[in-house]
């Protein structure tokens, strides 16, 4: 790289951990500190390899099936939320449960339960198989229909349309969700929509930041794990805006050829990716020749969620 081609790094603001992820990790760490290892966690607490491995080292055991948890153990539900069936099974097996479901996901569950009592059926916009979708759809035994795209909206067959409501996975692409919502409204003009949109503030803010970032850089690196829905959406969004984008779980995955001849490298991170991974990626790009790091102007997030009862640590 010649001297007049010095590479610059531009950091998206905001990026990385959101309040729901912060809270979920703190719940597991406090449970370990208060009750000692092992603490069982149903599903990855958040979708990030580094975070999960770090908690495993501290004594967390991640499971998918509650049959793997010994009777009377302490169990944490992941930030993505769980179905009523999983809650009932946990109660029946006598676990001490701490629920790390993100409060913004819980808000959707509460809305579904309330409207179901009033006789509503639901259209859910989300990704099939994602644990958050399984948790939300599992709030009811029937009457909740998943749509993943506009084609699904054309095909979906609720049993009635008088009382119909729409809910959304919290980590979707804001633009895709808007397009699918528009198709839902067109087919079911009287459908009830949530007072506040279900897509969470952190997903919206990180996507808005990538829209700004993409105008300023030649390539975007998204720090996030392959299982992270919101991280995948950030990379997709940058590509949609005409910029090459690559997702890395760690600095080791960064390939020098992605950056060759690119003067401005944008970096962001999904809501479950810790800042330490972003710093590792910056160090790696600096080692490859970048000389300056600039932070974009962006929203400062101040959201904080309270912890569940029973996790207060005795002050030393």
**Structural domains of the chain, with CATH:** 3-17+201-295 (3.40.1010.20), 19-101 (3.40.50.11270), 104-187 (3.40.1010.20)
Residue 1 pLDDT greater than 50, yes or no: no
Q: Which two tokens stand for residue 38?
A: 């092992």
Give the active site residue among 121, 132, 134, 236: 132
Query: Which run of H or of E encompasses 122?
Result: strand 121-125
Find out whether 216 and 267 touch, Cβ atoms under 8 Å.
no
pLDDT at 4: 46
Active site residue 118: no
Assign 316 a pLDDT band (cuts: 50, 70, 90): very low
Residue 307 vs residues 21, 47, 271: alpha-carbon distances, Å: 12, 20, 19
Q: What are the residues whose beta carbons fall under 8 Å from the beta carbon of 135, sequence distance 6 or more?
A: 80, 81, 82, 83, 86, 101, 105, 109
Angle between helices 103-117 and 19-35 (to 10 degrees): 100
Q: Which two tokens stand for residue 162?
A: 């008088």
Residue 90 vs residues 77, 83, 105, 112: alpha-carbon distances, Å: 10, 11, 19, 21
Residue 2 pLDDT greater than 90, yes or no: no
Find out whether 1 and 285 touch, Cβ atoms under 8 Å.
no
Is the model's pTM score more than 0.75?
yes
Q: Which two tokens stand for residue 181?
A: 């919502």
Q: Reduced to 3 states, what is the DSSP secondary structure of residue 145? A: strand
Taking only the tens place, the pLDDT of each residue in 149-173 is 999 999 999 999 999 999 999 999 9
Angle between helices 201-214 and 229-240 (to 10 degrees): 30
Taking only the tens place, the pLDDT of each residue in 240-286 is 999 999 999 999 999 999 999 999 999 999 999 999 999 999 999 99
Assign 314 a pLDDT band (cuts: 50, 70, 90): low
């Amino acid at each position: 790289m010649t001297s007049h081609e010095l590479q610059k790094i531009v950091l998206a603001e905001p990026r990385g951990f959101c309040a729901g992820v912060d809270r979920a990790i703190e719940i597991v760490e406090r449970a370990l500190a208060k009750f000692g290892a092992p603490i069982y966690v149903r599903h990855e607490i958040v979708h990030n390899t580094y975070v999960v491995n770090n908690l495993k080292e501290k004594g967390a055991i991640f499971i998918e099936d509650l049959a793997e948890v010994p009777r009377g153990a302490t169990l944490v539900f992941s930030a993505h939320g769980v179905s009523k069936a999983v809650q009932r099974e946990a109660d029946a097996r006598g676990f001490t449960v701490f629920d790390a479901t993100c409060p913004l996901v819980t808000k959707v569950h509460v809305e579904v339960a309330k409207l179901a009592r009033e006789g509503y059926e639901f259209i859910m916009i989300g990704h099939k198989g994602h644990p958050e979708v399984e948790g939300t759809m599992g709030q009811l035994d029937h009457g909740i229909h998943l749509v993943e795209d506009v084609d699904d909206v054309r095909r979906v067959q609720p049993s009635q349309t008088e009382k119909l409501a729409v809910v959304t996975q919290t980590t979707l692409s804001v633009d895709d969700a808007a397009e699918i919502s528009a198709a839902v409204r067109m087919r079911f003009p009287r459908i009830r929509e949530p007072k506040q949109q279900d897509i969470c503030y952190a997903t919206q803010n990180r996507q808005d930041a990538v829209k700004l970032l993409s105008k300023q850089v030649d390539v975007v690196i998204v720090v996030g794990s392959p299982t992270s829905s919101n991280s995948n959406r950030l990379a997709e969004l940058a590509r949609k805006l005409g910029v090459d984008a690559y997702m890395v779980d760690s600095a080791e995955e960064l390939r020098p050829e992605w950056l060759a001849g690119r003067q401005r490298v944008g970096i962001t991170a999904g809501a479950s990716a810790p800042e330490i991974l972003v710093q590792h990626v910056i160090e790696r790009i600096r080692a490859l020749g970048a000389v300056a790091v600039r932070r974009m102007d962006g929203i400062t997030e101040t959201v904080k969620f309270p912890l569940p009862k029973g996790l207060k640590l005795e002050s030393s």
